[in-house]
Amino acid sequence: MPNKTFFWFFLPTGLAMILFIGLPIISTGIQSFYAQHDQVVKEVKKCDPFGCTVSIVVDQEATSVLRDERPLGKFNGFGTYFDRNHLAIEQITEFWDETDTLGDFIDQVTNLPFYKALLFTLTYCLFVTPNVLLLGFIIALSLNAISRKIRGPLIFGTILPMIVTPLVGSLVLFWMIDAEGIIGANLQLMMEDPYLSLKSSRTLTWITIIIYGIWHHSPFAFVVFYAALQTVPQEPVEAAIIDGASRYQRIRHIVLPHIYPVVTFVALISLMDNFRVFEPIIGFSAEGSAQSLSWLIYDNLVNEEVILFGSAAATSMMTIIGIAILLAPVLIRTWKEFRTAR
């Protein structure tokens, strides 16, 4: 396609991307460098049905003057990024000096909210992504091998987890693993431990969410792999059969190299998706044991009665940077291959 044609072809999408993705990111970025003005408070008398007390309120007149002067708030630079609820530079230096062993140091650091969330997010990505790829590929191969007659209904059944709304899917499982639920109660019986709870132990909660994640995301990988398998040319496969190649050898040396670009694509998309893990945490009410970066943003925006825009913006920016770092190796590799192909 000549460059000029491409430009006009891409223009509408490009404009929409700038408007709906680019500008909000820039605005979030700017927001993350600001904090609220210093609150001006005054002592007043407050009366309610239970009596009167002298207490403090925010002085609205003084505050509105400040707000009108600088509506964005007080410039804070990287203050929010470096504070205890984010990168916690100060605290980490302190821990480094205070602790004797590396284990202690890691314990202390992962006790900080940002690193706690990062640890869960990365663990989730690390376990879910490869398993999704593997499981999706195995399902695609098996379905590709069975008779065409029953393939339709089976495909439908396989992509069901993706059709079910994530929140509903996780809620169903949540009720089942409750100590009074079918899985939870049976596990207690089997282990003969009435205090066993999948929800109260951190490790078990993590495992539950990861298994849920694999269950939910595999159909996507399956659909893409299944489509890719349809394009595998039959001649080399037949030639390989004649040469006496086993099924494994055929997959390893013919099918996989053929669908390799698709694998990269699925890996990229799942990595991005998994890094933003959020719904299962809400669905499983797992806030206590598992927090992700997206959940931190949500918490700052809605869980507090006071909305922390600066905090939420800073975490958003770091999530974007995190995704970029995670994707970098794959992107660089794709780019190199693209260059050599030319």
Name the residues that contact another protein, by CB under 8 A.
35-39, 41, 44-51, 55-58, 60, 63-64, 74, 76, 80, 83-85, 91, 111, 113, 174, 178-180, 184, 194-197, 199-202, 284-289, 291, 299, 302-308, 310-311
CB of 76 vs another protein, minimal distance in Å: 8
Of 69 and 180, the one with the shorter C-beta distance to another protein is: 180
Sequential DSSP letters for 18-38 = IIIIIHHHHHHHHHTTEEPPP
Of 46 and 247, the one with the shorter C-beta distance to another protein is: 46
Count Cβ atoms within 10 A of the Cβ of residue 99 and give its class: 0-12 exposed, 13-18 middle, 19 or more buried.
middle
Q: Which amino acid is at 87?
A: L
Of 195 and 335, the one with the shorter C-beta distance to another protein is: 195
CB of 75 vs another protein, minimal distance in Å: 13
Angle between helices 113-145 and 202-229 (to 10 degrees): 40
Element (H, E) at 56: strand 51-58
Of 171 and 245, the one with the shorter C-beta distance to another protein is: 171
Spatial contact of 31 and 317, defined as CB atoms under 8 Å apart: no
Chain centroid, CA 246 distance in Å: 39
CB of 183 vs another protein, minimal distance in Å: 12
Residue 76, C-beta contacts closer than 8 angstroms, at least 6 positions apart: 33, 34, 35, 310
**Degrees, nearest 5: CA angle 263-266-272:** 140
Of 224 and 277, the one with the shorter C-beta distance to another protein is: 277
Of 158 and 316, the one with the shorter C-beta distance to another protein is: 316
CB of 288 vs another protein, minimal distance in Å: 3
CB of 103 vs another protein, minimal distance in Å: 14
CB of 260 vs another protein, minimal distance in Å: 43
